[in-house]
Structure 1
Amino acid sequence: MKSHLQKSIKFSISIAVITFVLAAIFSVISSSVLGEVAWVFGLIIVLVIVLMGVFFDMLGIAATAADEVPFHAMAAEKVSGSKHAILIVRNADRFASFCNDVIGDISGIVSGTASAIVVLQIATGFGYPEGTSFQIIISVILTSLVAALTVGGKAIGKYFAIHSSTSIIFFAGKIIAFIEDKFKIKVLPQDKK
């Protein structure tokens, strides 16, 4: 029991550090990119950030809902990505934590910050100074839209994650296998079974 607690604490600390670094990187990139583009493209960037959060949330839930058994048959036939899919399912708690909590939550935070930048661009683009009622109205509308897209998207993603978990995790396994083969980057831990 003590070793499980130590592993959990170690994982929690490492995931917190990874989150800090990724949040800083995403925030700097989105802020610098948004500062250089027109507000229309800013809206598109915000939408992409929201969709990224929805996609990774769906991946995390699919990992916890998936069953390992179908991937064993594929692995026996040496189907690319099947061994990685098995690793995802066996490490579903960590995979889901990374996808849902790290990427999903960072996307939510960064989309909020990006929305604020876009609101300022819209207000100043139409000649309204900061703090006017026009800016407040645009801020409320955009914030509500981002929240609705995030929550609604995640609700749809959860449906697909639960009902199509095998194909979603197989797709993720194929992508991870491709990354590990082509770029020689170890994404998933080695299977010790």
Structure 2
Amino acid sequence: MALKRKSWKKISFVFILSFAIAVLAGLGSELLMRKSSIWVAWILLFMIIGISIIFDIIGIAATAAIEKPHHAKAANRVQGAKQTVYLLRNADFVANFCNDIIGDVAGTLSGAMAASILVDLIRSYPSLGNQEILWNTFLLALVASLTITGKALGKSLAINEADEIMSKVGALIAKIEEITGHSFTDTKKKGGKRNGDSRKD
């Protein structure tokens, strides 16, 4: 079945967005690691893993949260409630962005950073070069285990506290919009219509 024009636009947007994020994140981390000590490189690696886990939690929470309670908060002008409703109405995109785009980019970056750390370790301790394959396998397994374990723990939190998590994310976006003066979650189209369909359950 041929993809609709709208689907092609969405796929193209996801490709361009993921490519841009991967380039910026990869370039930034590479420059930081080249100019930093081995300990800073480890900190950056754990930060990337942490970011991957946090965004995975948000992506799952977006699909598990219920929209209706946040409408009441928005009616009472609770900060971030309007932004939360927008996120929930676009839960498919939020999940795709958080779980797939950020998750995959972070996974690729963490693997590359682990390899870079190994190179620096071998430079500092040449004797490690004799077991390069072993150490490379160990570091990649460590990164994978930390990421998988963190996401496994985060899934329960995301499902059980979905509404609270999305409220906090909405409040954060509202704060960013306030500081920048730009709305990232304007739900109105021309003619006063709103994006997405409301999830009433």
- Report the TM-score, using the length of structure 2 for normalisation: 0.88
Question: Aligned partners of 1:8, 1:68: CA distance in 2, in Å?
Answer: 25
Deviations 1:8-36 (A, max 9, x none): 22111111101111101111111111111
2:141 is matched with which residue?
144
User: Any idea what SS the aligned residue of 1:48 has?
Assistant: helix
Deviation at 1:140, TM superposition (A): 1.5
Paired with 1:171 and 1:71, the residues of 2 have a C-alpha distance of 12
* Residues 1-193 of structure 1: pairs in structure 2 closer than 5 A: 5-128=4-127, 132-191=129-188, 192-193=193-194
CA distance in 1, matches of 2:103, 2:176: 21
Residue identity matched to 1:140: T
Identity within the alignment, %: 33
C-alpha deviation, 1:189, in angstroms? 4.7
Q: Give the match's secondary structure for 1:78.
A: coil
Counterpart CA distance in 1 for 2:113 and 2:151 is 19
User: Secondary structure of 2:32's partner?
Assistant: helix
Equivalent residue for 2:199?
A: none
CA contact (8 A) 1:120 1:135 kept: no
**Deviation of the 1:84 alpha carbon:** 0.5
Q: Which runs of 5+ in 2 are unaligned?
A: 195-201
Counterpart secondary structure, 2:79: coil
TM-score by length of 1: 0.92
Aligned residues of 1:64 and 1:93 also touching (Cα < 8 A): yes
Shift of 1:187: 2.3
Where has structure 1 moved over 6 Å in runs of 4 or more?
none
**Residue by residue, what CA displacement relative to the aligned partner does 1:91-118 show, whole Å, maximum 9, x if unpaired?**
0001111111111110000111111100
Q: Indicate the RMSD between aligned Cα atoms, in angstroms.
A: 1.7
